[in-house]
Structures are given as C-alpha cells and as structure tokens.
Chains A and B, each alone.
Chain A
Amino acid sequence: VAEVSRRLRQCIPGTNLALRDVPIWLAGMLFVIIWGAPFVWMVSTSFKPSAQVMTKTIEWIPRDWTLANYQKVLSQYPIGTWALNSVIVAVVSTGLCVFFGALAGYALARLHFPGRQLIFLIFLGSMMIPPEVGVVPLFIAFLRLGWASTYQGLILPTIANVLSVYIFRQFFLSFPKELEEAAIVDGAGAFKIFFKVAWPLARSPMIASTVIIFTLNWNNFLWPLLITFDEDMKTLPVGIAAFAPVVGSHTQLEGYAVAMAAVTLLCIPSIVLFLVLQRQFIQGITIGSVKG
C-alpha cells in the first residue's frame, strides 16, 4: 500500500502532475474545453452554408466550408462604416484617456500641491459610481447640443476613465527620484521632466492602460446605443446587435450563420489584442480592480 501511494505521488516525467491528480486534471481540462466551446461553435457556424446550420445533429466541423456568410455580412450591411466608426472612437478616446491619465497620475504621485490627496480620493470615489447613473442626463445634454450621431458625442463621455490615472499613479509612486533630480539640476520644468524623463519610461502602465481602456471602448454598448440614431454613425457592437432576434430582423432573414460571421468579425480585435498583450492586460486589470 505504501508503495502504491508513493507511486501515486510521483510526478509524470516532464510535468509537475502527480499520478493521483490526473483525474482532477482531466476534469479541470474538460471544464476549460466547455468554457472555450462557445467560441468554437461561433466560428464553426460562421463557416457553414446556411442550409447546414439549423440541423438536428451537431456538426462541430462544417461539412462544407463557405465564406458566403462573411461576404453577405460585409456586402449587405455597413460593417465597414461601423468598423471605421468603432476604430475612430476607440482610438481617439483611448489615446486621450491614456495621455491625460498619465499627466494626472504623474502629478498625483510626484508633484506637491495643496488638495492633491483630496483630488485623488475624489477620483477614486467616483469609480464607485456606476456610469449608467449619468447616462440619461448626458443624453439630454448632448441632444440639446446637437451632438447625437456625431463623433464628439460618441467620444467625449468616454475620455475621463479614472482607471488610467490610477494605473499611472501607482507606477509613478515607485519611480526612482534620481531620474528626475538630474533633470531638475539641468533646470527643466515639470512638463519638460514629464516628457523627457517620465513619459518615455512609463511603458508598462502605458501598455496596460491602453489595452484595457481600448477594450472597454471597443466593447462600449449603452452610450453608443443611446446617442447614435443614424445607421452610418453606429459603432460595431451597436450595429451588429441588430442581428439579435429581439433587436432587429437580420437573423430572421438570414439565419444564425450570418450573425455568427458578424460577431466573429466583431470579437477578433479585442481577442487578438488580449492574446498578444495578455500579461499586461491581466496585470492592469488586477491593479485597477484592487482599489481597497
């Protein structure tokens, strides 16, 4: 018995998986496979000819592969225009948010002025307020300003995301003082120090806040849904939402294959960005969420 239990505790060569843990490992991997399955099903459906989608048997791998659904989605719906809108909105919003956040985060961590802690606490406290609370009044104000279905209407409310301030402040708190001191001796002002010394060295918070805020903006739903009335000014998530049977009639007309082609296109940018910058992404999320 002792011999068997010793054997069971031994790792399978080349891994740290003990023999007795194999059942747990298999169960865990089964769960992981189930978790990934919806994506596989989405992609698989998107390549099926529409006659092979609503079937009584489950075909994980399409019998016949076709690009017809993608062609249909790209030619019959203004996906290109929506994508362009999404790119413009997400890039401009994210760029401004990261840059302004870096300036504010730097000041909160490195500069000395009255009210500094209070301002930080206000920023931090505002993270507790759900953005949806301000959405209706903002909607009224933007309608009055004539900013419905405009880029400024889509972009402006998303600029001030406190997450970027927070990520940069955390980084600059542990920024070595010596680096700044050399510049101070040279008589450089705060802005010069920021642009010459701090900003170029702030690569990691820059990447972390950029990937997270870009993804948030790319996926943003409620605000673009409210503020865009013109089909041509919709962003991708809002435009493609019309494929949902309760929202629009595209799916009744085209079937699920076209809808799956549309959502596959929609999720490619954020998934690719996540896969490439996974470490920074998760790091940033962890820093951002742990706020006390």
Chain B
Amino acid sequence: MPKAMNERGITINSASPQPLGRSRIDWIGYVFIGFFAVPFLLFNVMPILFGVYVSFTEWSIIGEPKFIGFQNYWEALQDEWLRRAFLNVVLYALIIVPGVVVLGLFSALFVHQKWPLSALARTILFTPNVVSATVIGLVWVWLLDTQFGLLNHYLGLVGISAVPWLTSVQWSLFGVSIASVWWDLGLAFVLLLAALQDVPRELYEAAEIDGAGRVTQLRFVTLPHLRPTISMVVTLQIIATMRIFSQVYVMTNGGPAGSSLSVIVHIYQKAVVQNLLGYASAVSVLLFIAIVAVTLFQRLLLREMPRG
C-alpha cells in the first residue's frame, strides 16, 4: 500500500491506550461518548430507520400513516420523473466528476510548483468551496443569463451566439454543472495538493538523473503516487453529485421540464410540494441504496486493480 495512504489514513488498529487510573476499564468512557452519541442516535440514526418504516406507508403531513407495503416502491419504478432524475444524476456525474478531477489535478500540479503567486492561486482556487449554495446559485444565474450574462458576452466575442444556459431543455443541466464544478473544485484540489506534497523528493531526483523529462516524471512518478487519492476524490465527488440539490434548487428548480431535475430535488418536491411523505421516503431509501452500491462497487474496483 502506498505510503501516502498510510500516513493520513485511519488507524483503527492502533495500540490500546493504557487505562487511566487504577481500574482496568474506564467505564466513564461511555459518559464521554454519551454526549455525542445521544444526538447521533436521535438525529442521525433514528431518522434512517424511521424513514424505512415511513417508506412503506401512505402519509401526508396531516393524518395518520397507513401501511401500504411495497406500493411506494412500485410507484417509484413507474415514476417517469424519477427515472428522469436518476438519469440526470448520471449525466451530472459524467460532466462534474471529470471536470472537478481533471481541473483539480492540473490546479494542484500548478500550485505545487511554488511559482510566484502560488499562495494566492491556492486561496482563489479553494474559495468557492466555502460559500453557500445560495451564493453559487445566484452568482451563476447572473453569469449565465442568456441576454446580459458574462459568459454569453465573451462567447459572443468569439462568434458563438447566445446560449440559453438555464432556460432551455438542452442546456440547463450543463449550466448547473458548470456552477457545480466551480463550487466543488476546491476540495479535490486541496486533497490532491496534500497528496503531491507526500511524494518523496528523492524519486524526482532519481528520475532526473535517469534523464526523465517532465512528462515522463509525471507519468511514472507523480501519477502512481496520486492514484489512491485520485480514486478517493472520484468516489467523494460521485457521491456528492448523486446528492446534488441546493444549486439545482436555486438555479433551475429542476426545470425546464425536468431537464435538470435531480433525485433530491424530486424528493423535495414530492415531500414539500405534494405532501407525499411516504413516497418521498421510499425515493430516499432508493437513493441511499444507489449510493451504497456505487461506493461498494468503487471499493471492489480498487481492490481488483493492481496498485502502482
């Protein structure tokens, strides 16, 4: 296993700490954990279990739940909008994940050179990551405005006619994706930058003595070392994209005609607008299963791959 992974990876099997005091077991540990564990159980774990139950019921905000078995799931399978939403999430991932990973990798390689102004570059590249979806959404709604937006203005200078980024069925998903890449780049960038700093200097020196050029070094020294981090970034970004909600809500609210609808926007609309809480819970469970499946598949894929 590469060293970079070990150094910053988890240490589950760390040596047992020495017990404090005279007793062999620090029973007080449960009290320490308890402060966190109580809200954790109540607000993180219970809702998921409760949600599985709700998904088997018909429930609107007023009134009592009615147990209806698998009917919500059956309906979900036939829900055209949901199919559209899942398909859109795949499309979002196909645009956003490569966008974030490739630009993040280039940014990290660039900043890592420590050329003039690299600290400023690092700050600017990461900053979009710390602002709220409302900022991202509104700024990009303005930038992507068909008539007066900045992007179309500059595209117009090179002869490309105005693109209706957010108001057309063909472009809305792409428009939201641009904003999402801008928002998400920072995380991938800093993780890759940290990994670059872990590559041993000697390897580059050795490669240089062997007469390896810059591209060869990148291919045979840098990229193999970054591989675990790149695959982690890909996994994180896929999961983040499957959960895409806030920027969609602010920029297009899933429209026009469902062209930028995501699964969680669909859940939100079912739960809040249409009051179908049982159905919305069933969709949540399906999304959860999809995310777990993707995560496990990724792990499996990584295990199968020979490590560089």
Contact = CB atoms under 8 A, between A and B. Distances in A.
Interface string B238-255: 010011011001111101
Given A41-B143, A130-B239, A291 B10 contact: yes
Contacts of A225: 249, 268
Contacts of B133: 219, 221, 237
Interface stretch (B42-50, B79-87, B93-101, B215-223): B42-50
B110 to A, nearest CB: 4
Interface stretch (A65-73, A200-208, A281-289): A281-289
Interface in B126-150: 126-128, 130-135, 137-143, 145, 147-148, 150
A275 B249 CA distance: 28
A100 interface: yes
B8 interface: yes
Interface residues of B, number: 107
B54 A218 contact: no
A109 B47 CA distance: 28
B118 to A, nearest CB: 9
Contact of B43 (A36, A41, A157, A267): A157
A260 B283 CA distance: 35
Interface string A198-241: 00000000000000000100110110011000000000111011
A228 to B, nearest CB: 12
Contacts of A106: 32
B35 interface: yes
A112 B242 CA distance: 39
A23 to B, nearest CB: 12
A2 to B, nearest CB: 15
B20 A38 contact: no
Contacts of B242: 130
A241 B249 contact: yes
In terms of DSSP, what is the predominant structure of the interface of chain A?
A: helix
A99 B39 CA distance: 13
B32 A194 contact: yes
Contacts of A119: 33, 37
B11 interface: yes
A139 B264 CA distance: 14
A282 B134 contact: no
B246 A222 contact: yes
B188 to A, nearest CB: 10
B245 A141 contact: no
Given A21-B115, A260-B142, A275 B245 contact: no
A136 B54 contact: yes
Given A38-B182, A222-B246, A130 B137 contact: no
B74 interface: no
Contacts of B106: 31
B30 A113 contact: yes
Given A136-B281, A137-B47, A286-B194, A121 B295 contact: no
A32 B253 CA distance: 30
B117 interface: yes
A138 B47 contact: yes
Contact of A184 (B21, B126, B134): B21
A213 B123 CA distance: 19
Contacts of B123: 275, 278
Contacts of A139: 271, 277
B232 A289 contact: yes
Contact of B121 (A28, A54, A157): A28
Interface of A: 15-17, 21, 24-25, 28-29, 31-32, 35-39, 41-42, 45, 53-56, 58, 96, 99-101, 103-104, 106-114, 116-117, 119-121, 123-124, 126, 128-141, 143, 156-157, 159-160, 162, 165, 173, 177, 180, 184, 189-191, 193-194, 215, 218-219, 221-222, 225-226, 236-238, 240-241, 243-247, 256, 259-260, 262-263, 266-267, 270-271, 273-275, 278, 281-282, 285-287, 289-292
19 contacts: A25-B115, A25-B116, A36-B124, A45-B142, A53-B148, A104-B32, A113-B27, A113-B29, A129-B44, A132-B267, A133-B285, A136-B51, A137-B48, A137-B50, A139-B271, A191-B28, A243-B138, A267-B135, A286-B194
Given A24-B110, A112-B17, A262-B138, 10 more contacts: A25-B115, A39-B128, A100-B39, A130-B288, A173-B14, A184-B21, A222-B246, A237-B134, A274-B126, A292-B9
Interface of B: 8-12, 14, 16-21, 24-30, 32-33, 35-37, 39-40, 42-48, 50-51, 54, 59, 61, 106-107, 110, 113-117, 120-121, 123-128, 130-135, 137-143, 145, 147-148, 150, 153-154, 182, 185, 187, 190-191, 194, 232, 236, 239, 242-243, 245-246, 249-253, 255, 264, 267-268, 271-272, 277, 280-281, 284-285, 287-288, 291-292, 295
